[in-house]
A and B are shown apart, each in its own frame.
Chain A
Amino acid sequence: MKSGKKVLMYAGIFAVLFIIYYAFGHPFFNGNRLTMFVCVMALSVTILYYIARANGGAKIYLRTIPGLKAFDEAVGRATEMGKSVLYVPGIMDMDQVETVAGVIILGHVAKMTASYETNLNVPVSRSIVMEASREIVKESYMSVGRPDLFNDDMVHYLTDEQFAYAAGVDGIMLREKPAACFYQGKFYAESLILAETGNSIGAIQIAGTASPSQIPFFVTACDYTLIGEEFLTASAYLSQKPALLGSVKGQDMGKFIVMIAIVLIFILNGFHDLGWIDIDFQELLRVQ
């Protein structure tokens, strides 16, 4: 049986078992959160289905994202100019998904800098991020066969405080004048301060964040910006691993399901407001 169908089969078995469990009084399950549980399961099954299909050899098409193509160009530019690459993995800690995504992308950038023998500078704002980033950068350098170029001080801690960190990174930019600046992670108000300073030194800047309020600032000030889920799926693009590509496809299908659900519920809610149906979908979808 194909792997995708296996996932659907297991999901089907689970669904039947859950229905029986729910019908028998669902002990230990908070019934108020059933809608949320169903949504989580549906999205998870969708993503797992496409991961299984991709692992099974199915070809996954993903559109080109200019920002990701520019990674190589940016590191190459820094190498030609004999300058360093600055990588900022955001200002939050590893409990944020964006920081984890930023640190994963750092691994890919570190492979490039190791291959091209370019200096890499990673100032971080949190100690746990420092340790995780160091591990990733070290592994990247080793995987490319250049452990000699790795230095613990490549990844260094500045401060936890938001604007003190921005001041520190700005100082690094103005003193060392890196040719390429990457801002990949969770940012707040300091995003424009970093991006404008990077612009003033003439660096090529590639930003990526899932913070909706900071995206406009990065779009304005940086050469390329990975917006929202483009940033979160960057690791799949850069690694081209089937499982990761499959999960991106699953996410997209999840978005398609959400779009259909929005239209359907809009229509059904309209029917409810007109008194044609009794079910209040707004109440049904309320998170308890």
Chain B
Amino acid sequence: MFWKRQVPIAIVFITGILTLFGWFVDSPRFESFVNDDATQWYDIIASFAIILGALNLLKLQFLKIVKQKKDWQYSILAVVGFFFAITAGFFWKGANYIHINNVTANVSTVAPVIAEMEQKTIEQVLPLLEGADTYDVGHIFIIKGSAKKYFDELTASGVNAEMKEKSWGEHLLEEGTVFNWLFKYLFTPMSATMFALLAFFVASASYRAFRIRNFEATLLLLSGIIIMLGRVPLGSSISAWFIAYIIVLSAGMGANIIWKNRMTTFAVVTGGILLVTILGWISGWPVDKPGFLYLPVLQEWIYTVPNIAGARAIMIGIALGMIGTSLRIILGIEKSFMGE
């Protein structure tokens, strides 16, 4: 019980107090511990903890396959994908390249071969070989066999060439390696696709949620429309006078709802249209004037004034909430995250 209760609370207290007050201590060694070492300890623990998660994932997927639960075939995909990524990252570099030693003596032989491998013209390759005695061909071969044709061509012409491999770590970034292929052609499109789903979900969520139910919902709707249109180039093409006419028509609708009188509604709408038309004609129908009706200006105001005010208030509240939660955790008042 001592090890499960008191020791963790003591560790949390000491670490919390050290980190909190460490920021006020004027000692480089202490600051270095708080700023660098403590966070690095956490990163190291989190990195090793990944093994736990990975084992859990594999266990569940394997069980699904073995017991042939519903949709077990997808678990095979999960397991194969997992091991393929591990292999590409840790075991199979797939980052072979040709290293040429005596370049200067064989420029005419070497240049066309390099040009073919790097998909450049000979004129582009020659300046790279100028003055260079050795050259690492930029093209990466996943397996040595694919480089055989070029390698044989070079060695047959008396060029001193050798097959080399990129070092561990470099193989992750180098274009053409297995890992890079995995990142570029599997991971990147899949991530981008999931993010792109947001576009569709925003449309369906907006359609469902933006209803004029009450005053606040109406405000949300109007500001949403203004910002959606104002932020894109289309918004800057919509004249402020067009917005003025829409306001006049909305005022007419409002007048009709309030007074339910045709003459009043007609007077409001006609008067409004006449006023806007006269003012527009006098000013020459500028697209961006009056500024308070121009969508980009309106959206900028909504963003920078009420939006920031609200965002700041929420951020201050959240900061205070975090202070409270952190204090409770450090002082051991909140222990449920340890399982109590």
Contact = CB atoms under 8 A, between A and B. Distances in A.
Direct contact of A and B (CB under 8 A): yes
Given A127-B46, A139-B340, A215-B314, A247 B328 contact: yes
Interface stretch (A225-233, A263-271, A276-284): A225-233
Contacts of A2: none
A51 B50 CA distance: 37
Interface string A230-264: 01110100010001100110110011001000000
B198 A228 contact: no
Contacts of B316: 255, 258
Given A28-B25, A103-B337, A254-B320, A153 B209 contact: no
B201 A28 contact: no
Contact of B49 (A30, A107, A127): A127
B53 A157 contact: yes
Nearest to A220: B209
B321 A251 contact: yes
A43 B202 CA distance: 39
B339 to A, nearest CB: 4
Interface residues of B, number: 56
B327 A47 contact: yes
Interface stretch (B87-95, B123-131, B173-181, B188-196): B188-196
Interface in A147-173: 153, 156-161, 163-164, 166-167
Interface in A117-156: 124, 126-128, 130-132, 135-136, 138-139, 153, 156
A235 B336 contact: yes
A30 B23 CA distance: 8
B65 to A, nearest CB: 15
Contacts of A196: 201, 204-205
Contacts of B26: 28-31
A-B pairs, top 5 by smallest CB distance, nearest first, are A232-B321, A229-B321, A127-B53, A157-B53, A163-B194
12 contacts: A40-B20, A47-B324, A126-B53, A156-B60, A163-B190, A192-B198, A192-B205, A210-B322, A212-B311, A228-B318, A229-B317, A255-B316
Interface of B: 20, 23-27, 42, 45-46, 49-54, 56-57, 60, 70-71, 190-191, 194-195, 197-198, 201-202, 204-206, 208-209, 311, 314-318, 320-329, 333-334, 336-340
